[in-house]
């Protein structure tokens, strides 16, 4: 099972993300290293934000949110295996829901994260929400954004199938184009190049190719044996939760109200849609979202 690292010089042109990369070794085939940034490695801050990206992005997605969150607490932003600066398997078969779930659980334990406010979007929620409810003693709050916790019985939107089929059909996966097509904002070439940076050749995109078809759903996917019971636990979550979705995402938008109704404490928080924000709402309204999250933490003291 081949494992590769993106050369560090591939990231030389990445703008506004000048944080020292750190690494955790994961107990998985070939011992991949999971990269992350940490604004307070000593863990002295009173609050901890764990920010999880999705498909096909990396921690760079949170760059405009980091300054505001870092004023309020420690911010930890990992890159999932196969993404960003983390090691990458070169075969799609190497990627499973269990691999990602175990890696995230190990990561949280290795850093001994406590009293965590989980900020998660897309696959960051599909993985992060189950990890949070299964390790509830480490998590203080949930902020799911444009994401969900599928059971494996879900019917997917037509737009999702169009996206999955496109990923399966192309010889060269255009990472920058996928990001640009799922934002309201016009992203400049430097930003789009930063999303391409982790993938200087197609072999390194195996994880990005596999994630779409991995979504647990009625006609396929992987991981429902973990996500389905986790969704039941979400229905019993008693700590604060703030569901925060963009108003212009046709794929995850319909999941927003059911998720808000599922988590008992979510209805206690303001009923907020982030306006003029699509799937990658961090790109469209990162500073606004960070302010909403800080306000949420301030009104829900532990």
Instruction: Show which residues are catalytic.
Output: 122, 249, 279
Q: What is the pLDDT of residues 68-79, one digit of tens each?
A: 999 999 999 999
Q: Report percent pLDDT > 90 for the chain.
A: 98
pLDDT grade for 63, boundaries at 50, 70 and 90: very high
| pLDDT of amino acid 247 | 97
- As a whole number, mean pLDDT of residues 137-145 equals 98
Residue 294 has pLDDT above 90, yes or no: yes
The answer to whether 280 touches 123, Cβ cutoff 8 Å, is: no
Q: Which helix (H) or strand (E) holds 119?
A: strand 116-121
Tell me the pTM: 0.98
Tell me the CATH number at 122: 3.40.50.1820
| pLDDT of amino acid 302 | 83
> Helix (H, G, I), strand (E, B), or coil: what is residue 27?
coil
Residue 1 has pLDDT above 80, yes or no: no
Token representation of residue 206? 């195996």
**Number of CB atoms found within 10 A of residue 110's CB:** 13
| pLDDT of amino acid 94 | 98
- As a whole number, mean pLDDT of residues 282-295 equals 98
Average pLDDT, the chain: 97
CA distance linking residue 67 with residue 86, whole number of Å: 23
Token representation of residue 189? 């070439």
Query: What are the Cα distances from residue 8, in Å, to 5, 14, 198, 204, 210?
Result: 8, 11, 9, 14, 24
Nearest of 101, 105, 33, 68 to residue 282 by alpha carbon: 68
- Our count of domains for the chain comes to 1
- As a whole number, mean pLDDT of residues 89-113 equals 98
**Number of CB atoms found within 10 A of residue 155's CB:** 8
| pLDDT of amino acid 9 | 97
Containing structural domain, residue 66: 3-299
């Amino acid at each position: 099972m081949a494992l590769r690292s993106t050369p560090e010089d591939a990231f030389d042109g990445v703008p506004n993300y000048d944080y020292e990369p750190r690494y955790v070794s994961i107990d998985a085939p070939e011992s991949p290293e999971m990269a992350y940034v940490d604004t307070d490695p000593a863990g002295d801050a009173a609050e901890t934000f764990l920010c999880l990206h999705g498909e096909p992005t990396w921690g760079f997605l949170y760059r405009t949110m980091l300054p505001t969150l870092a004023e309020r607490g420690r911010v930890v932003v990992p890159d999932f295996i196969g993404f960003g600066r983390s090691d990458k398997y070169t075969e799609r078969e190497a990627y499973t829901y269990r691999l990602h779930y175990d890696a995230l659980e190990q990561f949280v334990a290795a850093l001994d994260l406590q009293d965590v406010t989980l900020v998660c979007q897309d696959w960051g929620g599909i993985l992060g929400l189950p990890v949070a409810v299964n390790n509830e003693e480490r998590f203080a709050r949930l902020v799911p954004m444009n994401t969900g916790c599928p059971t494996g019985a879900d019917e997917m939107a037509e737009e999702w199938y169009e996206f999955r089929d496109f990923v399966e059909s192309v010889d060269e996966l255009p990472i920058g184009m996928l990001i640009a097509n799922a934002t309201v904002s016009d992203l400049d070439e430097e930003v789009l190049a930063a999303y391409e940076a982790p993938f200087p050749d197609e072999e390194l995109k195996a994880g990005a190719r596999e994630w779409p078809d991995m979504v647990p759903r009625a006609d396929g996917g992987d991981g429902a044996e973990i996500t389905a019971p986790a969704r039941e636990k979400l229905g019993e979550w008693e700590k604060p939760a703030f569901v925060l979705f963009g108003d212009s995402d046709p794929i995850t938008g319909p999941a927003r109200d059911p998720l808000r109704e599922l988590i008992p404490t979510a209805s206690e928080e303001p009923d907020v849609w982030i306006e003029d924000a699509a799937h990658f709402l961090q790109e469209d309204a990162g500073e606004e979202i960070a302010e909403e999250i800080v306000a949420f933490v301030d009104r829900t003291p532990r």
